[in-house]
Amino acid sequence: MTQEFAGKSAIVTGASRGIGRAVAQMLAARGAKVVVVARDAAGIEETASAIAAQTGMPCVGLAGDAARATTAEAAVARAVNAFGRLDILANIAGWYPTARVEDTSDEDFATTIASNLGASFAMCRAAAPALRAAGGVIVNMSSTAARFPTPGLAAYSAAKAGVEAFTRSLAAELAPAVRVNAVAAGPTWTETVRDLMEQDSTGAVQAVTASLPLGRLAEAEEIAEAVLFLASSRAAVVTGQILYANCGGHMA
């Protein structure tokens, strides 16, 4: 496997499971030194240990909420202190409760905005000086729900639309030193989706799968490949863009 990220260091949020873990694992497998961040202390310890064992690359774990300035600042400090620089920030952390607007509590709405948009903002603010010094890259995680209406995901859709607007504005603000892009993922096989399938007596998840032109959901590793492309030199002239990776579910 090519070592396209050799000599680079990265921070990946939401790395205790799913897409975040896949991004962290694949960056390390391709030569990057990684700081992994998530609220799940046991999960992030497991991720860091597995990456170090499987790739031989150093990996530092940090348990904390990426939406909090203290966590964001600590993650950047760990990357710079341990690895001497910060080249890549992958903001994968997020949360999406499924509830119609009239059934969504103030707390759930605030948590959804904070976990998706707030975490990206806090991490980007903390990481900007180090990324600027290294000529680095930011990749945020959006969703097709940001642009296309999905009943039951209004709060999540609003948060991800905010992520996309924030991504474009930050790309203009940090240019030319730092590139900023986002991946808008469609339905993806993660632990959360598998849990939903086990609880779904209506067949809604199967119906969504059948409606996709490619006839399947994405794998977490496939979404991670899109993140790694935007983080790599192969995307050297790409900034302020939203890359849709959704098995053709929405052709924008």
Q: Is residue 114 part of a domain?
A: yes
Residues 6+ apart with CB under 8 A from 56: none
31: alpha, beta or left, given left = phi > 0 and alpha = psi -120 to 50?
left
Q: Is residue 213 part of a domain?
A: no
As given in the structure block, the two tokens for residue 131 are 């990324």
Assess whether pLDDT exceeds 80 at residue 238. yes
Higher-confidence residue: 212 or 88? 88
pLDDT at 9: 98
Residues 6+ apart with CB under 8 A from 129: none
Average pLDDT for 185-205: 60
φ, ψ (nearest 5 deg) of residue 221 = -65, -30
User: Rounded to whole angstroms, how far apart are CA atoms 151 and 144?
Assistant: 13
Q: Is residue 137 part of a domain?
A: yes
Assess whether pLDDT exceeds 60 at residue 199. no
Q: Is residue 195 part of a domain?
A: no
pLDDT at 194: 62
Q: Is residue 156 part of a domain?
A: yes
Average pLDDT over all residues of the chain: 90
pLDDT in tens, 111-147: 999 999 999 999 999 999 999 999 999 999 999 888 8
Residues 6+ apart with CB under 8 A from 161: 146, 147
What percentage of the chain carries pLDDT values higher than 90? Answer: 73
Assess whether pLDDT exceeds 50 at residue 71. yes
Higher-confidence residue: 204 or 194? 194
pLDDT at 197: 54
Instruction: State the pLDDT confidence band at 51, using cuts at 50, 70 and 90.
Output: very high
Assess whether pLDDT exceeds 50 at residue 202. no
Q: Is residue 181 part of a domain?
A: yes
User: Rounded to whole angstroms, how far apart are CA atoms 50 and 54?
Assistant: 6
- Whole-structure pTM value: 0.91
Whether the upstream peptide bond of residue 176 has omega within 30° of 0, thus cis, is yes
Assess whether pLDDT exceeds 90 at residue 77. yes
**Which of 132, 136, 53, 122 lies closest to 93 in space, CA to CA?**
122
Give the CATH number for residue 131: 3.40.50.720
pLDDT at 187: 74
Number of domains in the chain: 1
Q: Is residue 157 part of a domain?
A: yes
What is the domain extent for residue 44?
9-187+220-244
Write out the H or E segment, with its range, that includes residue 60: strand 59-63
Query: Pairing between strand 179-185 and 242-245?
Result: parallel
pLDDT at 68: 97
Does residue 43 contact residue 17 with C-beta atoms inside 8 Å?
A: yes
Average pLDDT for 93-117: 90
Average pLDDT for 197-222: 65
Gyration radius of the chain's alpha carbons: 17
Could you give the residue numbers annotated as active site?
A: 156
